[in-house]
Amino acid sequence: MIILKKHQGFTMVELLITLFLGGMVTAAMVPNYADEWNERRANIAAAEVWSIVEASQKFIVDNTTWPDQANNCAGAFATLGAAYLGGMDATSPWGTTYTTSCNNANPVSFSVSIATSGQYAGFLVNSLPATTASGATTTTTVPTPSGLPGLQALLPLDGSRAMTGALDMGNNNINNVVNLSAINVTASNNVTSPFIDTTDLRSTRNVFWAGGTSTSEGPLLKNDQGGSIELGGTQNNSTSYIDFHRSAGQDFNTRIINDLDNRLTIRANTTRFLNSSNGSNGRVEAGTITADSISVNGISIEARLPNYVHKATYFGASNNIVPKPTCNGGTPKVIIIPSYIQYRNDASNNQEGSDTWADDLGGNWRINIKSYFSDALGNPGEINGAGLANTYCYFN
């Protein structure tokens, strides 16, 4: 006879206890899995942000501009495309979109922003360099890749082409410059250089050409330039000038102008020449000086000099020719002093006087020295004499 055994299952209480214990274990494990998944998403986001940054730096090295720089880099992700980003999606692990930006007017940096799960914004700040957080949004900003070998694409060392944008040094220095060639140099402080070759040099402070030993008044001119400043160049019809500004609201207070070949014009109310050793009045040596007024020790030369400036003295007889002097700005004059006149004053002649004058012949004078008489019948006569002809320049 076959005996069948009776099988007994779980009781309801046992089943409830088992489910309760399993639920407790699952509840304890779920937060760990969630944290691990969020941390993975944060790591993926950090890696993708840096991939966008590196791709943008490679793009500017290849193309000399940030991706979509004309639109302030708003469409950088699309511009980079598969060529620089491979198959990366513009959507972050949190389902938000990566946004990019730069300043087209001053493109010295590039930024990538992402909206995160709030508690992981700090994670990205600590994981990525140059990253800041504003609420749940982080922004990573990188400068133009000055340290990359490809920088020559931006600023070629061989001078093969010009820069394509502005260079902002961020209040830092440019050191060890030998020659600086520029169209315009505008400075709000001092400009100091061994040599400056420029078309237009402007400064609101001081400009020093340094070289040799500095003095209390600033650096000296470069030694191998002979202590000289060269202006102008070979441009036709160019007018070089140096302006001095002492008071506000005026284009210049004093100007030194090279307005013609071999001529230097000084536009100033007063020009002083002092001895370099003791500051006393100095000496001026020149072929020709043209000025409205020249003073010596406060007294004008006009007051010191006579109106007539003697040029030459000639001895001659009547009808002799005397040359006119050259008077720059003056009028040629001649004064005749008779030294020999023959008179006829006897029973048959009456002496009636003498006279001197000069006939203007253009570039010369004809001198006349005459004595006059009349005979017993009243007929007039004259005798030529001789004398000195003094030529002058008359200045009014």
* DSSP sequence for 274-316: B-TTT--B-----S----S--EETTEEHHHHS-SEEEEEEEEE
DSSP-derived pairing of the beta strands 180-187 and 196-203: parallel
Please report the pLDDT score of residue 154 as a whole number: 52
| Residue 35: strand, helix, or coil | helix
Q: Could you tell me the two tokens for 328?
A: 């720059």
- Provide the 3-class DSSP secondary structure of residue 356: strand
> What is the enclosing helix (H) or strand (E) of 41?
helix 12-63
- Mean pLDDT per 10-residue run, the chain (396 residues)? 54 71 58 67 88 91 89 93 89 90 83 86 87 91 65 53 63 70 65 55 50 42 50 57 73 79 78 69 67 70 73 91 90 88 65 86 93 79 87 87
179: which residues sit within 8 A by CB, 6+ positions away? 195, 197
- 332 exposure class (CB count in 10 Å sphere: 0-12, 13-18, 19+): middle
Residue 40, pLDDT score: 84
DSSP letter assigned to residue 222: P
3-state secondary structure of 187: strand
Model pLDDT, residue 66: 92
| Distance of alpha carbon 189 from the chain centroid | 12
Buried b (16+ CB within 10 A) or exposed e, 194-223: bbbeeeebeeeeebbbebeeeeeeebebbe
Nearest to 119 by CA among 5, 34, 49, 229: 34
Model-level pTM?
0.36
Structure tokens at 24: 């407790």
pLDDT of residue 310: 87
d(Cα 266, Cα 262) in Å, to the nearest integer? 14
Query: What is the residue extent of each domain of the chain?
Result: 16-143, 178-230, 234-305, 308-394
Strand partners, 202: 186
What is the C-alpha to C-alpha distance for residues 264 and 242, in angstroms, rounded to an integer? 11
Nearest in space to 321 (alpha carbons), one of 371, 356, 359: 359
pLDDT at 391: 94
Give the whole-angstrom CA distance, residue 183 versus residue 382: 80
Per-residue confidence (pLDDT) for residue 215, from 0 to 100? 41
Q: Which tokens hold the place of 386?
A: 């001789």
The residue among 183, 199, 166, 177 whose CA lies nearest residue 191 is 177
Nearest of 206, 210, 230, 207 to residue 220 by alpha carbon: 210
Six token digits for residue 207: 């400009």
Report DSSP letters for 239-283, one per residue: -EEEEE--STTSS-SEEEEEEETTEEEEE-S----B-TTT--B--
Measured CA to CA, the distance from residue 42 to residue 123 in angstroms comes to: 7
pLDDT of amino acid 31: 52
- Residues 6 or more apart whose CB falls under 8 angstroms from that of 184 comprise 198, 199, 200, 202
The 3-state DSSP composition of the chain as helix, strand, coil percent (nearest 5) reads 20, 35, 45
